[in-house]
């Protein structure tokens, strides 16, 4: 595909995931988590099957819609299923630790895929990686079918309760934020930090190119960026117990503000340390925010609330992306990262004052 068509598929993906995020979360809470996890695995299988035979633009457009549907079905649902399963066994206190470990496995798998995918493509052709991914998703589908959903919802208990209308269901979910201001602050913090880190994931190659780092070292930097997120993911639950949720979130926001600010103001080899600092903080966010969220909401709203967070992050990425694109066009990538630093610093100031009495 041409670059223009690639941009079109990115736009289609963003629109699809925004439209599907909340409905899939609501369906997971109304009808059960397992069906949505199985649906996500099915979408993954169809996605890679179509990629093996894709040759026209509409094929790739359909693939990104399937990818968006799978991502939407899984976001919020997987962590809700995990928390309910732990709570059914009296182990909900271990939620952040297990989420961190899951994130760690994801990062390790991403590193292995990045390092091994190019070699496999060189040895056996690009299609081999898609066949391998299709096989992996098929295995994932088989394993998800073996999941047992804990008895927490009408779908799992077999009760024939009249489900709430969708509007009332959404209203009750929004009331959770009104009645728990601290919950809204943590979700906003996760949204802002998640959107900011997305611009590291998407544009670090351009930044390294601009400061004179040879493409020869990009593979090493790619592995380092993922590897540095591991400590935060694995230790977030311990750091929360030591510092508390509010101080730790303030530290993360301050670290991102300083890191992006330094990358924008002092471009050079020393700014690589700031890039790595951002990666260290990035790993803490998911287990910390997910733990705060799930410990304080009812099981009947768990997947929906998780979808609200994911929806907010994607909306923030789209909105921030417009400013990032404008600033980067005018002042190169350094201006874009400068804008991210300003946004993180502004939210840090707001969070510092707003969370004094609202965050437990």
Helices (H) and strands (E) in the chain — how many of each? 14, 0
Closest CA to 268 of 324, 219, 208, 225: 208
Cβ distance 210 to 338 under 8 Å?
A: no
109-142: per-residue pLDDT in tens? 888 877 777 778 778 887 888 898 899 999 999 9
pLDDT, mean of each 10-residue run, the chain (360 residues): 60 82 84 89 92 84 89 86 88 89 86 77 81 91 90 49 62 78 88 91 89 86 88 90 91 96 94 94 90 83 81 84 87 93 96 83
309-352: per-residue pLDDT in tens? 888 888 888 888 888 888 988 899 999 999 999 999 999 999 99
Radius of gyration, alpha carbons of the chain: 21
Q: How far apart are CA 134 and CA 140, in angstroms?
A: 10
Q: Which two tokens stand for residue 166?
A: 């969708």
Cβ distance 29 to 36 under 8 Å?
A: no
Cβ distance 319 to 186 under 8 Å?
A: no
Q: How far apart are CA 231 and CA 210, in angstroms?
A: 28
Domains of the chain in sequence order: 3-355 (1.20.1250.20)
Q: What is the dihedral of CA 115, 121, 124, 129, to 10 degrees?
A: 90
């Amino acid at each position: 595909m041409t670059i223009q068509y690639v941009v079109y598929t990115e736009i289609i993906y963003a629109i699809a995931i925004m439209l599907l995020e909340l409905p899939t979360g609501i369906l997971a809470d109304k009808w059960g988590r397992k069906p949505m996890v199985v649906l996500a695995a099915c979408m993954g299988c169809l996605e890679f099957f179509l990629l093996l035979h894709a040759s026209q633009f509409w094929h790739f457009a359909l693939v990104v819609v399937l990818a968006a549907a799978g991502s939407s079905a899984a976001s919020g649902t997987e962590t809700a299923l995990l928390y309910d399963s732990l709570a059914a066994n009296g182990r909900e206190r271990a939620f952040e630790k297990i989420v961190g470990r899951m994130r760690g496995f994801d990062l390790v798998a991403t590193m292995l895929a990045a390092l091994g995918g190019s070699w496999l493509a060189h040895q056996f052709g690009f299609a081999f990686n898609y066949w391998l991914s299709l096989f992996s998703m098929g295995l994932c589908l088989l394993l998800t079918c073996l999941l047992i959903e804990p008895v927490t919802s009408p779908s799992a208990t077999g009760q024939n309760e009249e489900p709430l209308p969708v509007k009332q269901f959404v209203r009750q979910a929004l009331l959770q934020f009104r009645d728990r201001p601290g919950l809204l602050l943590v979700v906003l913090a996760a949204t802002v930090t998640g959107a900011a880190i997305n611009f590291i994931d998407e544009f670090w190659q351009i930044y390294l190119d601009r400061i004179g780092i040879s493409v020869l070292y990009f593979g090493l930097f790619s592995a380092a960026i993922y590897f540095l997120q591991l400590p935060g993911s694995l230790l977030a639950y311990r750091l929360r117990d030591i510092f508390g949720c509010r101080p730790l979130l303030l530290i993360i926001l301050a670290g991102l503000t300083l890191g992006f600010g330094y990358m924008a103001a002092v471009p050079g080899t020393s700014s690589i340390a700031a890039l790595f600092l951002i990666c260290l903080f990035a790993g803490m966010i998911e287990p910390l925010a997910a733990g705060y969220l799930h410990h304080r909401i009812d099981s009947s709203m768990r997947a929906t609330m998780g979808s609200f967070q994911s929806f907010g992050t994607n909306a923030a990425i789209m909105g921030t992306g417009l400013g990032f694109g404008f600033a980067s066009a005018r002042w190169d990538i350094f201006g874009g990262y400068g804008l991210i630093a300003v946004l993180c610093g502004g939210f840090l100031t707001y969070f510092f004052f707003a969370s004094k009495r609202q965050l437990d």
